[in-house]
Structure 1
Amino acid sequence: MIRSACPSDAADIATIYNHYITGTTVSFEEAPVSTTEMENRLKSVSEASLPWLVFEEDGQLKGYAYASKWKPRSAYRFSVESSVYLRHDCTGRGLGRLLYEALFAELARRGIHSVIGGVALPNEASVALHEKLGMKKIAHFEEVGFKFGKWLDVAYWQKRL
């Protein structure tokens, strides 16, 4: 089931996300986030009138997707950055696609014009997901992140809704 996230989901969301912080280069954060910090992030997305969705199965959160403001200046108000994360043992089942499809539909319903997704490279699965959903690669920045002793590239994909 895909539904809107609520504050009580913050601990599960933080657990999912912290796996990517501590064990991968998918996130450029380097310190795990607390439940309180995740509650604040959920609140920030909600206050921006943007969606945060979760995929729940058998009473457990398996993943989430949300949109945040692309940039703070008002002319950017119809553009957002999208993010999707799955529990590490739930990848490869199509859940990311389901979450992104639901997120994009909700964004279109809210009048959002452009969705931009950033991907730390290399990440073949994330690249494939963005392209499968009709997103087009629009930028590639070389060696803009440094984590686990190595320089990392970031690329961006965009879709107009």
Structure 2
Amino acid sequence: MSEAGPAVRDAVDADLEAITAIYAEGVLTGTGTFETAAPDQAEMAGRRAAILKLGLPWLVAELDGVVVGYAYAGPFRTRAAYRYTVEDSIYVLSSAHGRGAGKALLLELIARCEAVGLRQMLGVIGDSANAGSIKLHAACGFTPMGAVEGVGWKFDDWLDVVFMQRRLNGGETTAPDAPGMPLD
């Protein structure tokens, strides 16, 4: 097995099969998403198209030439006042955990969102027991903002949602100098 680190790039249509499989693993075996039925490839293609239409990034990570993870930034909420705030989503195959794909994806996602003038990125992490995601966000400069307890029911258990925040481009300390996402 190669010692090369992950390569991060923009996702392309040819990646949709891998993206769909990665998310299906997360849906069916994990609590990082509260979705309980894995969407098909057509649905994932539609979700990706909606993100790209907003001018936001959708990325994949490759290890040894194989797509092992993906990440994107989406609107935190759809009202116009939220147009400078995004929520990150990151999914990595369990077989690739600990190999740097998640961190590489999140760092590139942050850089891309800063490049388009966004001001806040939120990690809305499924399950307070999701130590890997919480640790990843903390390592990338996110601050814990609190948790909402027992709001999701999955795998016969109540699950929390943990909120973490990272300021981009100075956050709320200055007026925006870009139009933000086209919302509302």
* TM-score of the aligned structures, taking structure 2 as reference length: 0.85
- CA shift at 1:65, angstroms? 1.0
Of 29, 34, 53, the residue aligned with 1:47 is 53
CA contact (8 A) 2:19 2:70 kept: yes
Q: Could you tell me which amino acid in structure 1 is paired with residue 62 of structure 2?
A: E
- CA shift at 1:101, angstroms? 0.6
Match status 1:138 vs 2:148: no
Highest relative contact order (Cα 8 Å, sep 6+), 1 or 2? 2
Corresponding pairs, count:
161
**Structure 1 equivalent of residue 36 of structure 2:** 30
**Structure 2 equivalent of residue 95 of structure 1:** 101
Q: 2: CA distance between counterparts of 1:58 and 1:150?
A: 37
* TM-score of the aligned structures, taking structure 1 as reference length: 0.97
Unaligned runs of 5+ in 2: 1-6, 169-184
Q: C-alpha offsets along residues 113-135 of structure 1, whole Å, 9 cap, x if unaligned?
A: 00001112211111110111110
Q: C-alpha offsets along residues 91-115 of structure 1, whole Å, 9 cap, x if unaligned?
A: 0112111111111001000101000
Unaligned runs of 5+ in 1: none
Superposed structure 1 runs of 4+ greater than 6 Å apart: none
**Structure 1 equivalent of residue 17 of structure 2:** 11
Q: How well do the aligned residues superpose, as a CA RMSD in angstroms?
A: 0.9
Percent identity between the two aligned chains? 37
Bigger Cα Rg: 2
